[in-house]
Amino acid sequence: MRAIIDAGNGTSRLEARYPSGATPLFMAATQGSAAVASLLIQAGAAVDATEVSGATPLLSAASGGHVEVIEVLVQAGANLEARTGNKATPLLCAAAAGHAAAVDALIEAGADLEARDDSGATALFQAAAQGPKETPAEYRQIVQSLIDAGATLDTRDARGASPLLAAAFGGHILAAWTLVKAGANLEVAIDDGATALLGAVFNGYVAVVEILLKGGAVADAATTDGTTPLAIAEEQGHEPILAMLRKALGGPQQVGVLETGAAQEV
């Protein structure tokens, strides 16, 4: 990189392309090298030059969680709302990948919290719906940061699903708990009438079922064909969920300390 900068061949060397269409600045952003990125920008590199997929250096840095590079690019005027092929912005990319610090940096820079990808998902939706189960705390932090920044709690994707519904269907305990605590609508339903509770019951996510019931979810909310959470639990023979649903249907549930061992980590 230093050779490119010192070659004295002007913009043509700074915008040299790799086979992927990436510029030296794009490669520095991808590799998380803030120092090199800064030198390239100072030498005149185009901050929003795209590679063949249309991704910019900021999109790449956000996807990789490279906070220092993000800060360098933002300071240089990088487009916060640049889009990938599927219309994801840097904030959406960082949220989907589980990079909490990168999300915070982009929020602070003024990224649009309500930007949507081509599936209609926002950053909050992505954080609630996606991510490896082994790093749930990182996604919980992202969900909380986005909520604190003012992201719409009950935003809908193209299917009509909300962040809470996505978290429930995916079994994301910490994200679901954070959304319920923040006041998310528990009764949002997709086209067939399935709510977050029905999705959690169907997939056997005991802790999520408990979170939703404790939060006040309607225990007998039915789909358009009349299927209820209780009917699904009975068909599957899931005793812990059956016990919770029967208790809920027998009387009002109070929001309080979670009872199941599966939910104690919350």
Mean pLDDT, consecutive 10-residue segments, the chain of 266 residues?
Answer: 51 63 92 96 94 93 98 98 94 96 98 97 95 73 97 96 96 94 97 96 96 96 95 94 94 41 48
Q: How far apart are CA 90 and CA 92, in angstroms?
A: 5
Residue 167: what pLDDT?
95
Whole-angstrom Cα Rg for the chain: 22
- CA 121 vs CA 124, 156, 162: distances in Å: 8, 7, 9
Q: How far apart are CA 40 and CA 67, in angstroms?
A: 17
Longest dimension (CA), the chain: 79
Q: In terms of pTM, does the model score above 0.85? A: yes
Half-sphere exposure at residue 225, Cβ-oriented, CA atoms within 13 angstroms = 5
Residue 108: what pLDDT?
98
Is 208 within 8 Å of 185 (Cβ atoms)? no
Provide the strand spans (E) within the chain: none
Residue 29: what pLDDT?
97
Is 223 within 8 Å of 165 (Cβ atoms)? no
State residue 232 phi and psi, 5-degree precision: -65, -45
State the DSSP code for 264: T
Is 55 within 8 Å of 86 (Cβ atoms)? no
Residue 130: what pLDDT?
82
User: Residue type for 204, please?
Assistant: G
Please give the structure tokens belonging to residue 140. Answer: 């919980």
Is 176 within 8 Å of 208 (Cβ atoms)? yes
Is 202 within 8 Å of 192 (Cβ atoms)? no
Q: Count helices and strands (H / E) in the chain.
A: 16, 0
- CA 123 vs CA 18, 54, 116, 158, 198: distances in Å: 30, 20, 8, 14, 24
